[in-house]
Amino acid sequence: MTVKEYNNAVREFGDHVYRFIFRSIKDRHRADDIVQDSYEKLWRYVTEIEYGAVKSWLFSTAYNRMIDVIRKDSRLVGVEYYDDSSLYAEENGSDLNEVLHRALETLPPAQRSVILLRDYEGYSYKEIADITALSEAQVKTYIFRGRVALRNYLEKTSIWQ
């Protein structure tokens, strides 16, 4: 990959990787750090990575870095288990997409990430499996369970009626 291709990767995929990480951990500063670390790592291996594979490589690197951060940060791990019942009353009159994003925050990190990769980036189950180092069956299970959880969340709000 050339310097020009590297810069293209920054311009083209930077926002994508950032929004994936940010929506996964809901922390702008950490997301910024994680994406920046990923690009710094890309720059170190710039001559070894093909431009065609750089997007998946970036998502994979950022995802793994995010998992490390989540494991180290007990507060973020706690998000997986927090009580979301107080959220339901506030969803009246909101846009469905915004409500879904709020509902997404109630999902476990693994489900959240695979759904984001599927919906935001349109990756296939196989590609998601490669990025997240999960099996394809696991990816499918996480996605389907996640969608059921999102639907159940919507059912509890008035926006679904």
Partner 1 sequence: MAMTEDTDLPRLTPLDDRLQGKGRLFRRPEELTDEQFDLLAAAWADDALSGDSLAETEEALTSSPERRMRAESFRQIRLYPLIDRWEGRNRMLKAAPGTYAIRRILIVTLTVAAALGALVIPGPLKTKPDNKSAGPAVAEAQKIGEAITIAEAQTTGEALIPEASPVIKTQPAAGVTSATQNMNQTAGAANPSIDKTSSTRLAGVISGSAADITSKPRPVGMIPESLRPERIVPQQNDITASVTNSSIHANGEPRTTAEIAEYRDLAESIALMHDFSGAVPLLAVGPEAFRPAPLELKNIIRLPVPEREENWIVRGLSLLAEAITKEPTSVDGYFIADACIKGVNRVLGWEMELEQEKNNEGEQLATNFSSSLLTFSAPAKKNHH
Residues binding partner 1 (CB under 8 A)? 3-4, 6-7, 10-11, 14-15, 17-19, 22-23, 32, 35-36, 39-40, 43, 96-98, 100-101, 104, 115-116, 118-120, 125, 140, 143-145, 147-148, 150-151, 154
- CB of 99 within 8 A of CB of 91? yes
Closer of 63 and 125 to partner 1 (Cβ): 125
Tell me how far apart the alpha carbons of residues 130 and 52 are, in angstroms, rounded to a whole number.
15
Find the helix packing angle between 109-119 and 136-155, rounded to 10°: 90
- DSSP label of 29: H
What is the amino acid identity at position 72?
K
- For residue 66, the minimal CB distance to partner 1 (Å) is 14
Closer of 66 and 115 to partner 1 (Cβ): 115
- For residue 161, the minimal CB distance to partner 1 (Å) is 11
